[in-house]
Amino acid sequence: MPQHQEQKKLTNNQKKFNPNVAMVLSILLAGLGQIYNKRYMKGISFVILEIAFILATFDFLWLGLWGIITLGTIPGVDHSIYLLVYGIVSLILITFAIMLYIFNVRDARKQAILLNNGWQPPTFKQAIKNSYDKAFPYIMTAPGLVLLIFTVVFPLLFAVALAFTNYDLYNSPPRNLVEWIGFNNFKDLATVPIWQNTFISVFSWTIIWTVVATSFQIVVGLILAVLVNDKRVKFKKTIRTILILPWAVPGFVSILIFAAMFNDEFGAINRDIIIPLIGGNGLPWLTDPTYTKIVLIMIQTWLGYPFVFALFSGVLQSISSEWYEAAEVDGATRLQKFRNITLPHVLFATAPLLIIQYTTNFNNFNIIYLFNEGGPAVQGQNAGGTDILISWVYKLTFDTNNYSMAAAISLIIGLIVSVFAFFQFRRTNSFKEEGNI
């Protein structure tokens, strides 16, 4: 009891710092709260930082914010796209400034409370060391983060913004202005016949391509891995090396070689295999969309199974043979052993990587574009017969300069990809492993 009273007296004596006052002061001007808390060095450096930030960036932020709202007002003078870029950069800067500001306000309040509870503020030297400890992870991540913002975050935000503008060949700065047009690009995709037709056919082929090509890869890889793992097979090492070979050859080289082999007129497939064996003039591998699609799936299987094979082989070798022995005692058939022991083991260990395989193929630009540039052309749509969404975006961007529509389709790709991301999320447990410093 006396102890408690003593403590109360002490706090009454020392209650010089009102946390709320500190908070309000630091909201008014960053650092004022810290000065009120008698942390002069800290407070003054905060004040200087804030003033410097405002002085250095005010004009730019103002231009950026004005620019992103209006996208320019005078054609020929205002460059809408640069204004949009400034606007996005301003928004990123402001986000960081707000985060720092919130940190400053919380810091002022927390320290006032701590001081009231009799906490001794560290000496200047100590404070420097403390803040170095606190800041260390930020210092380490800062360069990477800045680079990430400029090469990934900023371009993605920019693409999202473009999807809601009318930026194309005709509305293109510096001669003309770009305008915000809301969801019109998406409406066009859904209602204007040529966009609608193209979108439906490209979208459905993208899905078929992703599912079929990736599943083929996985199934072929799995079958081969199981076969090589068979106890009776000899020369395992040599067989594995040969089976992995397609992975070792650079993908773009293989695709271009395949493109030449499947050439309708002088390709090796028609000349050396189809015509001698079946006769006729060979098959229209590159001029008939159906044939091109079949070939694309076969080539992707060729290119992609070795990775899955190598992955599965590693897992198969690590499954303890006791499982199989126990199953044999119970009289399990081979199929049962495969379904109940091999498959669960293999899939459990590799599921995230398999999901990545699907997303990779969903955006597998290289094979589609390098094999036949998304062609052959098809009537009634403005994408090639084998274009997937991402190669369509590429063509819209660089062939027809229809940037805003390209961005709108990119956004749709992004939405689909985030569904995959969600599945990835649910498997993740790395968050539990927290640092302790």
Partner 1 sequence: MSPKLKSALELTGIYAIFVFMTVIILYPIVWAIGMSLNPGQSLYSSSIIPENWSLEHYKWLFTDPRSNYVTWYKNSMIVSGCAALFSVIMTSVVAFSFSRYKFVGRTSALYTFLILQMFPVMMAMVALYIFLHLVGLLDSLTGLILIYVGSQIPFNAWLVKGYLDTIPRELDEAARIDGAGHFTVFWRIVLPLAKPILAVVALFNFMTPLFDFILPSIVLNSPENYTIALGLFNFINDQFSNNFTRFTAGAILIAIPVAVVYLFLQRYLISGLTAGGTKG
- 280 near partner 1, judged by CB under 8 A: no
Regarding 403 and contact with partner 1 (CB under 8 A), the answer is: yes
Quick check: 158 binds partner 1 (CB under 8 A)? yes
Is position 170 an interface residue for partner 1 (rule: CB under 8 A)? no
What is the 3-state secondary structure of 375-418?
CCECCCCCCECCCCHHHHHHHHHHCCCCHHHHHHHHHHHHHHHH
Which structure tokens are listed for 385?
Answer: 């017969």
Restricting to residues 293-312, name those near partner 1 by CB under 8 A. Answer: 302, 310-311
Q: Is 77 near partner 1 (CB under 8 A)?
A: no
The interface with partner 1 within residues 329-388 (CB under 8 A) comprises 349-350, 352-353, 359, 363, 365-366, 369-370
**Whole-angstrom Cα distance, residue 217 to residue 304?**
6
Cβ distance to partner 1 smaller for residue 381 or 402: 402
Contact 37, 51 (CB under 8 A): no
Q: Which amino acid is at 171?
A: N
- Which residues, 242 to 261, sit near partner 1 by CB under 8 A? 242-254, 256-258, 260-261
Residue among 7 and 401 whose Cβ is closer to partner 1 = 401
Q: Residue 277, CB half-sphere, CA atoms under 13 Å: how many?
A: 8
Q: State in angstroms the smallest separation of the CB of 380 from partner 1.
A: 26
Which of these ranges, 176-184, 323-331, 336-344, 407-415, lies near partner 1 under the rule CB under 8 A? 407-415
Residue 203 binding partner 1, by CB under 8 A: no
Least gap, CB of 363 to partner 1 (angstroms): 5
What residues have CB less than 8 Å from 93, skipping those under 6 apart?
57, 61
Q: Residues in the chain, how many?
A: 437
One residue of 18, 176, 201, 397 binding partner 1 per CB under 8 A: 397
266 binds partner 1 (CB under 8 A): yes
Distances from the Cα of 81 to the Cαs of 48, 60, 64, in angstroms? 33, 15, 11
- Which of 24, 315, 319, 332 binds partner 1 (CB under 8 A)? It is 315
Asked if 68 contacts 141 with a C-beta cutoff of 8 angstroms, the reply is no
Nearer to partner 1, 21 or 100 (CB): 100
Backbone angles phi, psi at 165, to 5 degrees: -120, 180
Q: Which is nearer to partner 1, 18 or 287 (CB)?
A: 287
Site for partner 1 in 124-153 (CB under 8 A): 133-134, 136-138, 140-141, 143-145, 147-148, 150-153
CA 222 – CA 201 distance, rounded (Å): 31
Q: State how far the Cα of 303 lies from the Cα of 421, in Å rounded to an integer.
A: 24
**289 forms part of the interface with partner 1 (CB under 8 A):** no
Contacts of 50 (CB under 8 A, 6+ apart): 29, 30, 31
